[in-house]
Amino acid sequence: MPDSNPALAALDSYPRTPLSHCPTPIDPAPNLGRSLGIDLSIKRDDCTGLAFGGNKARQLEYYFGEARQREADTALITGAVQSNFVRMAAAAARKLGMQIHIQLEERVENPDRNYRNSGNVLLDRLLGAHLHSFQVGEDEGAADRALDALAGELRTQGRRPYVIHLGIEHPPIGALGYVRAALELHAQWLATGQAFDAVVVASGSGLTHGGLLTGLRALGWQLPVHGICVRRGAQLQLPRLQRRTREICELLNLNGLVREADILVHDAVLAPGYGKLNDATFNAIHQTATGEGLMLDPVYTGKAMAGLIELVHCGALQPGQKILFMHTGGTPALFGYQGALEPFMAPDSD
């Protein structure tokens, strides 16, 4: 990573607490790639460590960097019941000797017992997190305000809380972790000569997608980044990414770097919505497991791979192209979704 790069220089002005195992490897996926007619590789950000790993480790390095700078002793975060982010935030807090309060939002209708007790929820409890329920599932602002209210209560008890906000009204500090990931990817390309024609990544909060895109453009790398919608449709996700990339650029003093044409979002495999399985997602999970021995989750990586497959089928990704898939983790959620997965599986499947 060139020390003279202006994005890297700006990154170093933000406090950061190392929490992840980086650089993460890039693994070939020849069987799955051959079946799709592309040259497929996978960036293994499921291997970042920190309580089963995932992309959020990179983001949390900046949130907890700021928390430690403020001498916080308690972290608060909100997310879906099977959120990977809250699980990893709990692990980071414990690693740093902090208390952790998790607010679990009801984003998925009629979940079964596994969803409420296994997977990430089990890990949250093992990590000793204080769990709070938030009945509204699709109101980021209200969820953040509820966290702020809880932080106020904790202050009256003598705690020093730090809130990790997820709503659009708060600065995208965590995205800096994926600006750094772009620099890492560039260094891997320079070391190996392994170039790519496009990247495919899950697009939810917009911080992983936006940070990666901004970092690539800061390097002068015009690699297309296809974001697969996992939380909201493309009509809503596009303006969210426009705002987030603008804010990330402002954090790095790189205003105007990312153009509107750079932001690619696709929602063909989103229905019936966040955290809900469909045929395309299950087929992607199954095909990746049986073809590469690699696990994807139903909420993020499974839908992202389903989106990649759809991009091949519709011609947006061309035969023979070198495609990089960002595996952002989420494996523990598989156990929380056992009930949803079982109807899709044949009784005696190989």
Q: Is 154 helix (H, G, I), strand (E, B) or coil?
A: helix
Rounded Cα distance between 277 and 298, Å, is 6
Q: For residue 295, what are the CA distances in angstroms to 195, 290, 321?
A: 25, 9, 23
175-185 b/e (C-beta count within 10 Å ≥ 16 → b): bbbbbbbbbbb
Q: Which residues on neighbouring strands pair with residue 26, listed in sequence order?
A: 43
Rounded Cα distance between 227 and 261, Å, is 13
Q: Is 163 helix (H, G, I), strand (E, B) or coil?
A: strand
Q: Which residue has the tokens 């019936």?
A: 272
Rounded Cα distance between 85 and 132, Å, is 15
Cis peptide upstream of residue 23 (ω within 30 degrees of 0): yes
> Which amino acid appears at position 134 of this protein?
F
Is 41 marked active-site?
no
Rounded Cα distance between 90 and 70, Å, is 18
Nearest CA among 34, 51, 115 for reference residue 87: 51
Residue 299 — φ and ψ, nearest 5°?
A: -90, -45
Of the residues 83, 118, 203, 205, which is catalytic? 83
E strand intervals along 188-329: 198-203, 225-229, 264-266, 322-327
Cis peptide upstream of residue 272 (ω within 30 degrees of 0): yes
Residue 322 — φ and ψ, nearest 5°?
A: -90, 115
Which residue numbers are catalytic?
83
